[in-house]
Amino acid sequence: MALVVQKFGGTSVGSVERIRNVARRAIDTQRAGHRVVLIVSAMSGETNRLLGLAHEVARVPDARELDALAATGEQVSAALTAMAVQSEGGKARSLLGHQIKIHTDDAFTKARIRAIEGSRIFETLDRGEIAVVAGFQGVDAQGNITTLGRGGSDTSAVAVAAAIGADECEIYTDVDGVYTTDPNICPSARKIDRISYEEMLELASLGAKVLQIRSVEIAMKYGVRVHVRSSFNDSPGTLVTKEDEALEGVVVSGVAYDKGEARVHVVGVDDRPGVAAELFERIAEKNVSVDMIVQNVTTDADPRASITFTLGKTDLARARPWIEEIARSLGAREVRYDEDVVKVSIVGLGMRSHSGIAAKMFRILANEGINIQAIATSEIRVSCLVAAKYTELAVRSLHDGFGLGGPRA
């Protein structure tokens, strides 16, 4: 007998008929001898409807009230799902964030979970009931309702699974699992059967939006086995798990891309120690995250340095005026911007024990005539910034070049 957490997103509970499907799946799991905790999101469209009302009422709605408002979406889903389980012949009970309790800090609209009490869930399971937990929500020390931010139901699910020591946390979604790259641009993309937390973190943060990155961090921290799978069929999906459970021998697990960054090129600053430090310290003061950084070497012909970095496109507009101000104060000749760039990354645990992976990546891109504008690496990832028009070509050539199209070893 296993203890299983099953999380269903907004699409999976988007209609009365789909809620019934969720109920039947949970009952089937229970009848197969397991104890089941469901985590449900708001019905698709409901959160947007509620936030729309809020913005009709107030130009800048209060964060505490936004959370009290938005949390009703998951409360409705949880109550309806519990009713559906009962209607299908099972036993169930809805549990809200303040009932369980899911303790969070008081950072309304983006609260972080501090602790989860398991006793109310176990009482429910001990009565033979399916516990239907409203995702996305918690309660702060004062009893105010908080929410975990968009996609927070994944976080709720993994955190609840960790708190009650669940054997597995199943994340039901509208895709079959995690893919080696985006199937929309690379037809040979293949579903990954097993992947380590570390790889999933690199893939998630790079834009493969299957799992909320925070939920993967929590899963890794507490060793929760996460199973990403489709709510529309019974096929096994992708198991996100500890490194030693993930398969050996694979060098590169996936190819990700991210069009969300813009390149900033600060030309001709003084070539003295501390210039780069000063530049990035002052940018950090403005609370803007910088990703890839390249400092050009100076030559005798041009003794002035130039620095390239990327930052989120959404930050660029507000950052431009003071980036230019900082650059001027550092003696820069000019600042150039380029939003037509894409960051293409290869991710894989195997990189740690295989040399030459980065070189192979550069060679594959070079063979396609793709110029690399910046490079960033981590222990298990290599990222290259290239012109956006090469996105599909770069992803496909890397995916096939690293043998991801074939059956996995």
Stretch binding its own copies (CB under 8 A), from 83-91, 179-187, 249-257, 290-298: 83-91
β-partners of residue 383 are 345, 376
For the chain, how big is the Rg over CA atoms in Å?
24
Shortest spacing between CB 91 and its own copies, in angstroms: 10
Shortest spacing between CB 63 and its own copies, in angstroms: 10
- The answer to the question of residue 126 lying near its own copies (CB under 8 A) is no
Query: Which member of 144, 205, 296, 377 binds its own copies (CB under 8 A)?
Result: 144
Find the Cα–Cα–Cα–Cα dihedral 230, 235, 241, 247, rounded to 10°: -140
Query: Which member of 51, 83, 185, 267 binds its own copies (CB under 8 A)?
Result: 83
- The answer to the question of residue 20 lying near its own copies (CB under 8 A) is yes
Is 84 or 219 the residue whose CB approaches its own copies more closely? 84
Query: Which member of 86, 205, 230, 296 binds its own copies (CB under 8 A)?
Result: 86
Shortest spacing between CB 328 and its own copies, in angstroms: 40
Shortest spacing between CB 230 and its own copies, in angstroms: 23
> Residue 352: which of 202, 238, 192, 191 has the closest Cα?
202
| C-beta separation of 26 from 35 below 8 A | no
| C-beta separation of 151 from 122 below 8 A | no
Binding mask 271-310 for its own copies (x = CB under 8 A): ----------------------------------------
Q: How many residues bind its own copies (CB under 8 A)?
A: 37
Tokens linked to 50: 């509620």
β-partners of residue 341 are 387
- The answer to the question of residue 65 lying near its own copies (CB under 8 A) is yes
- The answer to the question of residue 68 lying near its own copies (CB under 8 A) is yes
Query: Which member of 58, 115, 366, 409 binds its own copies (CB under 8 A)?
Result: 58
Shortest spacing between CB 71 and its own copies, in angstroms: 8
Tell me if residue 229 falls in helix, strand or coil.
strand
- The answer to the question of residue 94 lying near its own copies (CB under 8 A) is yes
- The answer to the question of residue 87 lying near its own copies (CB under 8 A) is yes
- The answer to the question of residue 131 lying near its own copies (CB under 8 A) is no
Tell me if residue 158 falls in helix, strand or coil.
helix
- The answer to the question of residue 205 lying near its own copies (CB under 8 A) is no
3-state secondary structure string across 316-375: HHHHHHHHHHHHHHCCCCEEEEECCEEEEEEECHHHHCCCCHHHHHHHHHHHCCCCCCEE
Find the Cα–Cα–Cα–Cα dihedral 206, 212, 214, 220, rounded to 10°: -90
Residue with tokens 């309660």: 139
Find the Cα–Cα–Cα–Cα dihedral 70, 178, 225, 33, rounded to 10°: 80
- The answer to the question of residue 145 lying near its own copies (CB under 8 A) is yes
| Interface positions with its own copies (CB under 8 A) | 16, 19-20, 50, 53-54, 56-59, 61-62, 64-66, 68-69, 71-72, 75-76, 78-80, 82-84, 86-87, 93-94, 96, 98-99, 143-145
